[in-house]
Amino acid sequence: MEVFRHDIVIVGGGGAGLRAAIAAVEADPKASVALVSKVYPMRSHTVSAEGGAAGVAAPDDSLEMHFKDTVKGSDFLADQDCVDYFVEQAPKELTLLEHWGCPWSRDEEGRVAVRAFGGMTAKRTWFAADKVGFHMLHTLFQTSMRYDRIVRYDEQFVTKLLVDGGVVKGVAALDVREGTMRAILGRAVILATGGAGKCFPFTTNGTIKTGDGMALAYRAGIALKDMEFVQYHPTGLPGTGILITEASRGEGGHVINAQGERFLVTRDYGVGQKAELGPRDMISRAIMQEIAAGRGIKGPYGDYVHLDLRHLGEAKIMERLPFVRTLSKTYAGVDPVSEPIPIRPVVHYMMGGIDTNIDGATALPGLYAAGETACVSMNGANRLGSNSLTECLVFGARAGIRAIEFARGASVGSEAPLLAQAQEEATRIEDLRGRRKGGEKIAQIRREMQKTMEEGCGVYREQASMHESVRVMAQLRGRVSDLQLEDASKVFNTEILTALELANMVDVAEAIAVAAAARRESRGAHACSDYKARNDQEFLHHSLVTFTPGGPHLDRKPVTITRFQPEERKY
């Protein structure tokens, strides 16, 4: 087996992973960093983010306002020390990106422009038209090329964390191109693999978002935190789930029903004066209620409502939202200049993730996590739009610095037990290749998982359907070990990847369902039909799901509240 040795190993080459890599090599001039990704970094899903990245910039704004908006948006489940650190670092990180060449949109004087976003009381979202994730990712990737000490392992799929003596010391990875396993060793590991939207049938997420890092940590015994909080973005295209950015509403777009009524203004959905600029959980619920009341529009992929940008005019749409126009034309057949865009809520983001502290450190010494795959936690029960791109920078950088500090003080120890584990992993993967004896098709299990998760853990959830999701996921976890694979070849065998991704998703989906069923209240994105009110007495805590051979184990963890006491969340 090939063995590679570095100081730290970063898994994932999106916004958080690239930022962590750059931070690590800048913090330690001798650091050698492995950047392992199952795709070329510029394909990472950060690329699909559209609307912007939040950080206080305007004179009428303040860190305290950003803090309060974020905590309130989280329905008071965010750890307030993390939010404080986040809002303070946000402008610095966005400035760094500016120095690295990110083409931020500007005002006439050449200052960075900011736009309005949902749940934010001031304009503080930095943007590069409506391709912010794309520009941030490419800026980070291109900047990372400056550093020869960032050694990329592109198209390599990590299948296991290598742990010895209670400390993580590397990863086992499948080189997709060669079809061989390798050990990539380091004295600290950062997981930055993004979200898990593909656990659901209808999502803005790309096909690569299969919860890999969450599953890696979960199987190594690390708890997943607050997994029940799945964000539905209010405005996805029916059928494909393609994201139509919240910036559409930030720039003045209206959400209207079949009768052309702006129901966020005319009816009481809790968003008050904010109307279309309310937080995502509330707007998604409002749309689902309009559809349930028969005020949606019928379509081949289910009922939907409209996002109307016509009054913005062609010039503004072309300056601020050109990508939205292209996406609408290409994937919905409508030109938003002259027609409203069909939209409905769609799975977008996991508030939950690997349980870490403010440094991104997990309970396993040497293991760190950052970005969507982590739960530090700053998003609580509902993330505000445009906070997550900045989160990748702020906590990616912090994890990178902390991981290299940890690596400096850690000893390598004996490699033998690590290589033995990697060898075992190689045997497991080899057994899977072209495994004809199995009885289950990948696509069939994936469909069952996605359908069950949508029915059980959707915008609105019921106890009965959540428990049904728990039951089905436990069953699918067994069935996933009986997969039938057709492709016995070694070189670029994508079928084996898909099988491994499916196993990851089933684990993550089960954690989501278990955590959801246990939270008998409604908070943020978790809207439980049987328990409609928030219940701070019993549930003002994080939930933790830990893997055990007998099934998931549930636990809880206190929320850090520093100065903003929970109050009724009204806008």
Partner 1 sequence: MSDVQKKKFVVTRFDPDKDEVPKTQEYTIPVRPDWKVLDALNYIKDEVDGTISHRWSCRMAVCGSCGMLVNGEPKLTCSTPLDEYGDEVHVAPLSNFPVIRDLVVDLEGFLDKFKSVKPWIVRAKEKAVEEGPCRQTPEELHAFKQFSMCINCMLCYAACPVVANVPEFLGPAAIALGHRYNLDSRDEGAAERNEVFRGEGTVYECSYANECSEVCPKNVDPAAAINQAKLLAVLDWMKSFVTPRRGGE
Catalytic status, residue 99: no
d(CA 12, CA 154): 10
Q: Which of residues 96, 258, 297, 419 is near partner 1 by CB under 8 A?
A: 96
Longest dimension (CA), the chain: 70
d(CA 75, CA 71): 7
- Find the catalytic residue in 249, 348, 398, 461: 249
Nearer residue to partner 1 within complex by CB, 43 or 280: 43
- Find the catalytic residue in 233, 295, 402, 534: 233
Strand order across the 341-350 sheet: 230-236, 341-350, 305-308, 254-256
Q: Which of residues 103-122 bind partner 1 (CB under 8 A)?
A: 103-112
The verdict on 157 binding partner 1 (CB under 8 A) reads: no
The verdict on 476 binding partner 1 (CB under 8 A) reads: no
Least distance CB 45 / partner 1 (angstroms): 7
Least distance CB 403 / partner 1 (angstroms): 21
Query: Tokens 């219940």 belong to which residue?
Result: 535
d(CA 87, CA 65): 9
Part in contact with partner 1 (CB under 8 A); list of ranges 163-171, 189-197, 255-263, 323-331: 323-331
Q: Which of residues 6, 19, 135, 523 is near partner 1 by CB under 8 A?
A: 135
Q: 260 — alpha (psi -120 to 50), left (phi > 0) or beta?
A: left
3-state DSSP call for residue 391?
helix
3-state DSSP call for residue 339?
coil
The verdict on 482 binding partner 1 (CB under 8 A) reads: no
Least distance CB 50 / partner 1 (angstroms): 9
Part in contact with partner 1 (CB under 8 A); list of ranges 131-139, 279-287, 454-462, 511-519: 131-139
Catalytic status, residue 45: no
| CA 551 to centroid of chain Cα atoms | 24
Q: Which of residues 2, 92, 266, 292 is near partner 1 by CB under 8 A?
A: 92
Strand order across the 374-375 sheet: 374-375, 353-355, 224-225, 541-546, 553-558
Cα angle value 450/237/200 (rounded, 5°): 10
Nearer residue to partner 1 within complex by CB, 138 or 225: 138
d(CA 561, CA 559): 6
- Would you call the peptide bond into 489 cis, given omega within 30 degrees of 0 as the criterion? no
**Could you tell me if 154 and 140 are in contact, meaning their C-beta atoms sit under 8 angstroms apart?**
no
Nearer residue to partner 1 within complex by CB, 1 or 443: 443
Least distance CB 121 / partner 1 (angstroms): 23
Question: Residues interacting with partner 1, by CB under 8 A?
Answer: 39-40, 42-45, 47-48, 92, 95-96, 98-101, 103-112, 131, 134-135, 138, 142-143, 145-146, 177, 206-208, 239-240, 242-243, 323, 326-327, 330-331, 333, 442-443, 485-487, 489-495
Catalytic positions, written as ranges: 233, 249
